[in-house]
Structure 1
Amino acid sequence: MTAAEAQRWAAEPAKDSGYGRTPYQRDRARVLHSAGFRRLAAKTQVHTAGSDDFLRTRLTHSLEVAQISREMGARLGCDPDVVDVAGLAHDLGHPPFGHNGESALDLVSGPCGGFEGNAQTLRVITRLEAKVPGAGLNLTRATLDACSKYPWFRKPGYRKFGVYDDDRPVFEWLRDGRDDERRCLEAQVMDWADDVAYSVHDVEDGVHGGYIRLRELIDDPDERVELCGDVAATYSTESRDELGAALDLLLSDPAVIAVAGYDGGYDSLVALKRMTSVLTGRFVASAVGATQSRYGTEPLRRYAADLIVPRTVRNHCALLKGMALRYVMRSRAAETWYEQQRTILVDLVEALTRTPERLDPLFRPLHAAAADDAAALRVVIDQVASLTDHAAVAWHQAVVGTRR
């Protein structure tokens, strides 16, 4: 890495070099020791955190993404610590209750530019974490760029974005003069690792939880058509016929067939874990192989290459996402608790906007210094987004429940 890539947003005193750590190893330690990272242990991935000790939380998901990112990046020639940190940090901005909570906060944050988990991640690591005054964790430029999954501001036609308007200065600094939306290779590796982890692991959790019954899907051609329709509408630009062919191939894999009769016993758990390992390994190896086929086997990093993922593999990943959507997320969305989650967060934002003295000591001075109502609302959103699932419920009882 160059000196510019190892630079930090805020100047820091020279560190004791006795350990011989690189700047990127320091970045990794800063994320691992951050308060936001610890909170991920009690934040929902798909199922409510703490509802089942088998199921993943945001913390276990982030550790898995980091592991996949590190191994895939190392095989391509990226700095392993940079891609590792990107995997560890990529969900630090996600609020309580997973994507349901993200939608609820976006609903009430329109006056300050909306809410998006990835944009909130940038805000957490560059501003809100208490490490370096005014700079958050003060990570290196290369690491911040690797964390930029969506390096653009909110705009029409884009559901995802990666930076709020008032975080423009640090965003422009980390992009180091780039005025396009191209992502560095390390960010692409992290993004694909995230896709691989949550598509494969959400299906694993869904099978274990009884939401996804692969035998029924294998035996019912009409259901497979419906699933492909969901995927075409949500996760893929491929035709239903193309997705149908990919689904037939996926469901004919011996590792998948072995899970069709899952009953929760030891042998079933072994088969389920084997399916997870086979699919993860295949998705990673395919991307590495295709990228090296195009660019060669010399080390690749930063903007020297784009990650190439074969179409069939992308289709398989999209189909797994579709299974989680169709059989898990929609089932959960019908539950009363799912709507209560949204109510809790909306109520909290409204109550804390009226009574900012209830904010944590970390956020109270930021609210007092806010230049206008939009900036003050953003601080309230920061507070609510920082809460764990359990803390959000407790805060709601304390702040809103007494008022009612």
Structure 2
Amino acid sequence: MPLPFPAPLAPYATRAEKTRGRLHAEPESETRTPFQRDRDRVIHSVAFRRLKHKTQVFVFHEGDHYRTRLTHSLEVSQIARSLCRRLRLDEDLGEVVALAHDLGHPPFGHTGEDVLEECMADYSGFDHNAQTLRVLTKLERHRASYDGLNLSWETLEGTVKHNGPITGALAEEKAKAKGKKLEPMPAALAEYAAGHDLELHTYAGLEAQIAALADDIAYNNHDAQDGLRAGLFTMAEAKDVPLLGPSLASVCRDWPDAPEAVQIAEAVSVLIGRMVNDVFEETSRRLAELNPASAEEVRAASEPMVAFSEALAPDIRTLREFLFGKMYRHYKVNRARSHAKRIVRDLFQLFFEEPGVLPPVWFNRQEGKPDDKRARAICDYIAGMTDGFAIEEHRKLFDATRWL
């Protein structure tokens, strides 16, 4: 049963009082733990506010009821806190990793990311996870004495590695299991790691691993809810989909006269609960098997401790495949993706070829720099845009009728 009040932390929890500290030394707070301060710094950041107008699946102006990157991040943090509480981990660390995990996403969701990857292919690449690290350590600036938010080592480590090791034997093993080759480390990560070792060859602590699974739980369920409510697919089309179909059928039997929107919300709530319980039980089993005495033993493990069970994992993959075909590649979403691709590509090409049209602060960041540094500055500018700002910038620069 979930505990009504925080219980003493488990031995394998990440402990705020044993933090490895910050890159730039600061006096500790008298009222907040290091991870609580990290959370507050993320919430007060410009990048976090911008998530309100960044695409999850639907471009921000398509409807007020659909998820944005901000509401998605808040929902991920709620699930992460719940799981951390049940497993007696540091809730604040789980929460801040969840809140920060998408800060590096450009406008228009994965579409914007795909285009920036293409545009940056000859200039050390683009990776939204590495971009999140740039936001946290370089692009946000609230203190005169350093760039970035100066977050604790554990928060930076968890944000970068929440999906697993990035270098080394474990990362190679993980890539091989997916039938892929290990990708080169993103340039932004390599640059930062050269001066601040985040131990990229190991797993992150349990709190960050939980944030990663909370992300999966949130987007699978909430994207399904948004897709149904938007009419991209119907309840009848979902009836044979593992997890989602049985959940909808059960709710319709119990509440046959409820409005469809309420039935969908009920089904999603039930399904989130089932996935959360599954992660809790599988994680508890793995922890009992390893019996780690510290967070360091969790990091040194040969596999993640937080996972879905073998029984549930195939059904989750099938649900993702259904959402990909029926929702993420629905013709209406594809039309929005098509516009988004042109907007991001046009902006990058124009700024690179005619940097004089950049706002002064961004012009100054790239002026006189070699092509790779110029491209990185332009990429930073575009990646920080909201959907609406990118649309308006494109209209200003490419709609000649505005000047007539």
- Under a length normalisation based on structure 1, what TM-score does the superposition of the two structures give? 0.82
Distance 2:364 2:154 in 1: 31
Q: Does 1:101 align with 2:100?
A: no
CA deviations 1:100-140 (Å, max 9, x no partner) are: 11111111111222222112111111111112455311110
Which of residues 117, 126, 132 in structure 1 aligns to 2:128?
Answer: 117
After superposition, where does 1:1-400 map in structure 2 within 5 Å? Answer: 1=15, 5-12=19-26, 14=27, 17=30, 20-132=31-143, 134-148=146-160, 149-150=162-163, 151-152=165-166, 164-171=186-193, 175-176=197-198, 178=199, 180-218=201-239, 247=241, 251-253=245-247, 255-258=248-251, 267-296=259-288, 301=295, 303-304=297-298, 306-332=305-331, 335-368=334-367, 370=369, 372-400=370-398
**1:391 CA displacement:** 0.4
Q: What is the RMSD computed on CA atoms of the aligned residues?
A: 3.2
Return the alpha-carbon distance in structure 2 between the equivalents of residues 67 and 206 of structure 1.
22
For 2:90 and 2:275, the matched residues in 1 are separated by: 21
Secondary structure at the residue paired with 1:21? coil
| Contact 1:119 1:161 (C-alpha < 8 Å) held by counterparts | no
Alpha-carbon shift at residue 169 of structure 1 (Å): 4.6
Q: 2:361, 2:378 → 1: CA distance? A: 11
Identical counterparts, % of pairs: 33
**Which secondary structure state, in structure 2, belongs to the residue aligned with residue 311 of structure 1?**
coil
Contact 1:122 1:162 in 2 (8 A): no
Provide closer, same or farther for how the CA distance between residues 183 and 22 of structure 1 changes in structure 2, counting only shifts above 3 A.
Answer: closer
Give the number of equivalent residue pairs.
370
More displaced 10-residue stretch of structure 1: 149-158 or 40-49: 149-158
Instruction: Give the TM-score taking structure 2 as reference length.
Output: 0.82
Note the alpha carbon deviations across 1:280-304, whole angstroms, 9 max, x for none: 1111111111221232399974652
Stretch deviating more after TM superposition (347-356 or 125-134): 125-134
Give, in whole Å, the separation in 1 of the partners of 2:219 and 2:109: 13
Name stretches of at least 5 consecutive residues in structure 2 with no aligned partner.
1-14
Deviations along 1:24-44, whole A, 9 cap, x unmatched?
111001100110011110011
Q: Distance in 2 between matches of 1:109 and 1:134?
A: 27
Aligned counterparts of 1:334 and 1:267: Cα–Cα separation in 2: 26
Q: Contact conserved, 1:333 with 1:339, CA < 8 A, in 2?
A: no
Asked if structure 2 preserves the Cα contact closer than 8 Å seen for 1:200 and 1:320, the reply is: no
What secondary structure, in the 3-state scheme, does the structure 1 residue paired with 2:21 have? Answer: coil
Question: Cα deviation per residue 1:47-101 (whole Å; 9 max; x = unaligned)?
Answer: 1112111110000000000111111122223211111001101100101111111
The secondary structure found in structure 2 opposite 1:391 is helix
> For the residues of structure 2 that align with 1:48 and 1:189, how far apart are their CA atoms?
28
- Distance in structure 2 (CA, Å) of the matches to 1:380 and 1:120: 13
State whether residues 130 and 188 of structure 2, in contact with CA within 8 Å, keep that contact through their aligned partners in structure 1.
no
* CA distance in structure 2 between the aligned counterparts of 1:162 and 1:29, rounded to whole angstroms: 33
Change (3 A) 1:61 1:105: same
CA 358–43 in structure 1, closer or farther in 2 if over 3 Å, else same: same
**1:209-245, CA deviations, whole angstroms, 9 ceiling, x for partnerless residues?**
1112131343xxxxx6xxxxxxxxxxxxxxxxxxxxx
- Give the corresponding residue for 1:221: none
Alignment gaps of 5+ in structure 1: 219-223, 225-246
Tell me, in whole angstroms, the C-alpha distance in 1 between the residues paired with 2:220 and 2:134.
26
**Kept after mapping to 2: 8 A contact 1:44/1:389:** yes
Kept in 2: contact 1:188–1:307 (CA 8 A) = yes
